[in-house]
Every structure is written in C-alpha cells, then in structure tokens.
Amino acid sequence: MHIPECCGPLPPAACDVAFARAAEFFPRHFPDEPYEVAVCMSWLLDPALADHLPAESNIVRFQRRFAIVDTQESDSFERFVMPGSRLDGRRWDIGRGWLEL
C-alpha cells in the first residue's frame, strides 16, 4: 500500500474506504492471483509512536489496523515530521506490518 504525502490527514473513514476498494479491486482485476493482505512499510508503523500520541490520533488508529512484524532504523521519517510538532526531535523507526483485506 502507498500512503500519499500530499493529501493531508488520513482519517479512519478514509482508510476504511481505501481498504474496501482494494478488497474489491484485486479479485476483479487479478482473478487468478489471490490478494488477501495489504502490507505497509512506514515510520507510521513505529510502535513507539503509540507512547507519544493520543490513543485516538489518526496515526495510532492507523497502526492498530496492522500486525506489525518488525522495525528497522531509518531517517526517512524526517521529511514527513513537521518541525516543532510533538513528533519532532525524536528518531522514529520504520515498521513493517500487514492486515487482512
């Protein structure tokens, strides 16, 4: 899956729609290839974020959708974290996870 950086907040309702569309898209266009899961690799899946954000933040609610399997160090998050925000000044790892479509 791809999370566009240009489109502002990613509220739960928008995620619901996107995942529902994906679950319909793949069987229709690739009937011979089962697509049962979506995978994501992003700093948004760093489990440590849940310790620094409110439980009902969009990021934490997005994370809860996934089974996070591991993390790795990266500095790619820096281009997405706004200076002066509550996430600034920390290093966030890249998490990898999956969810059932």
What's residue 9's pLDDT?
79
What's the pTM?
0.87
Amino acid symbol at 34: P
**pLDDT in the model for residue 79:** 82
Model pLDDT, residue 35 = 92
Predicted confidence pLDDT, tens digits, the chain (101 residues): 677 766 777 899 989 999 999 999 999 999 999 999 999 999 999 999 999 999 999 999 999 999 999 999 988 888 888 889 889 999 999 999 999 99
Q: Cβ-count burial of 43 within 10 angstroms (0-12 exposed, 13-18 middle, 19+ buried)? A: buried
For residue 80, which of 94, 97, 100, 96 has the smallest C-alpha distance? 94
CATH numbers and ranges of domains, the chain: 33-100 (3.40.630.120)
Phi/psi-derived region of residue 8, left when phi > 0, alpha when psi is between -120 and 50, beta in every other case: left
